[in-house]
Amino acid sequence: MLTFDMRRALHSGLLFGCVTFVPIIAFAHTGQGDISGGVLAGFRHPISGLDHVVAMVAVGLWGAQLGRPAIWVLPVTFPIVMAFGGVLGGLGVSIPGIEVGIALSALLLGAAVALALTPPLWFAGLLVALFAICHGHAHGAELPESANPVTYAIGFVAATGTLHALGILIGTVNRWKAGSFALRTGGAFISGCGCISSCTRFEERDACVCCTGWSGQRLAV
């Protein structure tokens, strides 16, 4: 039998899922914007990378684990701040440490779930907002030239909300003792994915630096 808190969590997850799909349905029905290069392109972008997916699911998991009001504060904060980061990325505003922030997001958010950390709400919200800026900036910077910026933004915000909703729904298992262990195990898995992603990103960056340096030396010769 579902408890009141479980029903609230389920309702929150379903609400986020419904709200995030409304813009897509509306634009598809009215024909506004280039759907193939806008909303759908934006929607596909967050779910095309493992680091993005696990980090956004982790936000929903952590919110569900923390309970009210974090269960809705964190999943609402992330898309809003991410959209702002997307604007900065689309405008070409340079922010140092974006790749590091993306790499660490899954690692730290997963660890927070695995360790069942319960920081003050303002701290959890600030941490989520910082990671949201990084993810949003990456989405905005990779905006396809043929895409409408508005419809593209709607797409990646909708995908993000959907992943948050998935995390909230999965997080309802936290109400049971065995479910709580499973949730923390899932957090450890996400953290592990973040660790692998971090290593991969840093290896690619170092490889690029080495290649650039080698090319420069060759040109100098």
Instruction: Judge whether residue 33 has pLDDT over 60.
Output: no
Task: Round to the nearest angstrom and report the end-to-end CA distance of the chain.
Answer: 75
Give CA–CA dist 141/125, Å, rounded. 24
- Quick: pLDDT tens for 52-111: 889 999 999 999 999 889 999 999 999 999 989 988 988 888 888 888 888 889 999 999
- pTM (two decimals): 0.72
pLDDT at 96: 87
Q: What's the CA gap between 116 and 66, in Å, rounded?
A: 8
**Residue 17 near residue 161, CB atoms below 8 Å:** yes
Mean pLDDT score, 112-123: 94
Measuring CA to CA, which residue among 146, 168, 122, 140 is closest to residue 16? 168
Distance separating alpha carbons of residues 77 and 13, to the nearest angstrom: 15
CA 38 to chain centre: 19
Specify the pLDDT at position 214. Answer: 35
- In the chain, where the domains are located: 4-220
The pLDDT value given to residue 212: 38
pLDDT(198) > 70? yes
CA distance 79 to 63: 14
